[in-house]
């Protein structure tokens, strides 16, 4: 599983939303046409080029949602939950200590996807129907 930065995860999730496939983005990169994306979206084309050149197969897997973010902040987590899983701020509560989220109701598949994407400093605990994410 590819380890990517928070900004790279945002870029991938943004492009998937619009909806670009991995093959389309790969075509833009290989044909030096990333300006077609950067003119519309605030993305860093250089990081996409580097990811593709390092390992195209892993980048394709990352586009399919199989990636781990190297370092996840609380605000980064909230943004990725919104972008990737359509989970809004009103679907969870901040922990009183400010180091995580609680009372988030997700199915086991989504829980596994969240676990897989989080950096190793994050913990996920399930209590009945709800999960808590914290550092």
Q: What is the pLDDT of residue 83?
A: 93
- pLDDT tens digit sequence for 3-19: 999 988 998 998 888 78
Q: Are residues 58 and 89 in the same domain?
A: no
Q: Is 79 in the same domain as 42?
A: no
Residues 79 and 45 in one domain: no
Whether 63 and 85 share a structural domain: no
pLDDT tens across 18-41, in order?
A: 788 899 989 988 998 877 776 766
Asked if residue 77 and residue 117 are part of one domain, the reply reads yes
Other C-beta atoms lying within 10 Å of the C-beta of residue 124: 16
Return the pLDDT at 66: 93
Query: Where is the domain boundary, 67, 84, 117?
Result: 67
In the predicted structure, residue 61 carries a pLDDT above the cut 90 = yes
**What are the distances in angstroms from CA 114 to CA 13, 15, 111?**
14, 19, 5
The residue among 16, 32, 67 that closes a domain is 67
Please, what is the end-to-end C-alpha distance for the chain in angstroms?
Answer: 22
Last residue of a domain, one of 67, 89, 111: 67
Q: How many Å apart are CA 39 and CA 113, to the nearest integer?
A: 31
99: which DSSP letter? S
63 and 90 both lie in a single domain: no
Are both 30 and 48 inside the same structural domain? yes
pLDDT at 35: 78
For residue 18, the model assigns a pLDDT of: 79
**Paired tokens of 106:** 């997700």
The residue range of the domain holding 117 is 73-134
Tens of pLDDT, residue by residue over 66-108, are 999 999 999 999 999 999 999 999 999 999 999 999 999 999 9
Number of separate domains in the chain: 2
Question: Residue 112 pLDDT > 90, yes or no?
Answer: yes
Determine contact, residues 8/68, Cβ cutoff 8 Å.
no
Asked if 100 and 120 sit in the same domain, the reply is yes
108 and 129 assigned to the same domain = yes
């Amino acid at each position: 599983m590819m380890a990517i930065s928070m900004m790279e995860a945002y870029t991938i999730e943004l492009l998937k939303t619009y909806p670009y496939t991995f093959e389309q983005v790969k075509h833009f990169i290989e044909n030096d046409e990333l300006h077609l994306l950067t003119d519309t979206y605030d993305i860093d084309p250089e990081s996409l080029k580097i990811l593709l050149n390092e390992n195209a197969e892993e980048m394709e897997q990352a586009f399919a949602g199989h990636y781990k973010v190297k370092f996840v902040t609380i605000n980064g987590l909230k943004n990725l939950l919104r972008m990737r899983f359509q989970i809004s701020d009103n679907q969870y509560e901040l922990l009183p200590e400010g180091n995580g989220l609680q009372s988030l109701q997700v199915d086991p598949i989504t829980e596994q996807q969240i676990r897989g994407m989080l950096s190793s400093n994050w913990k996920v605990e399930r209590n009945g129907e709800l999960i808590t994410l914290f550092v």
